[in-house]
Each structure stands twice: as C-alpha cells, then as structure tokens.
Amino acid sequence: MALLSQDGYPSPGVLRVRDVKTSAEQWRIGGAVPGANAPRILDLAWNGTPSQSEILSRFRPLDAAELATATPDDYAQVPMILAE
C-alpha cells in the first residue's frame, strides 16, 4: 500500500497527486530527492526487504526537459507482493 497526497489542482499529466519537491512550498510536500521524476509516494507499507528508501530511490533523476522521453525504467518501481 502506498500513501500519496491528493491535489485539487495537480501538475499537468498527474492524476490528482500532489507534487513532492526537495523543499516544501505552499501546497507542495518537501523531502524529495532532486529530479523531475522523483516519486510522489509519501509512505509505503513494505516488509522491509529491500527497504522503502531503497525502493523509492531506484531511479535516474531527470530534469523537466527529459520527461518527454522518459521510459518506465527512469522511475522508481515498487515490486509486486505475491501471495504465498
């Protein structure tokens, strides 16, 4: 389960999920690593292996101009949890 923050006026192309910036601003959450493709996930319910921090840090930071050519591998990817 992932925790995000809803935004009534989101950035273009973002479906009502509030931006997370490196520094907090009005209506923007702080604490993200640099990069226009930083995850907007605030918290992640996870079993600990790999850690939440490791999962959400696995991406190549892009600047805003590079987003048009970004692929799924340029974003943090949360592994699927399989029922045993």
Per-residue tens of pLDDT for the chain, all 84 residues: 888 888 888 878 788 888 888 899 988 889 888 888 888 888 888 877 888 888 888 888 999 899 889 999 999 998 887 776
Against a cut of 0.85, is the pTM above it?
A: no
Q: How many domains is the chain built from?
A: 1
27, part of any domain? yes
Per-residue b/e over 37-61, b at no fewer than 16 CB within 10 Å? bbbbbeebebeeeeebeebbeebee
32, part of any domain? yes
3, part of any domain? yes
Residue 27 structural domain:
1-74
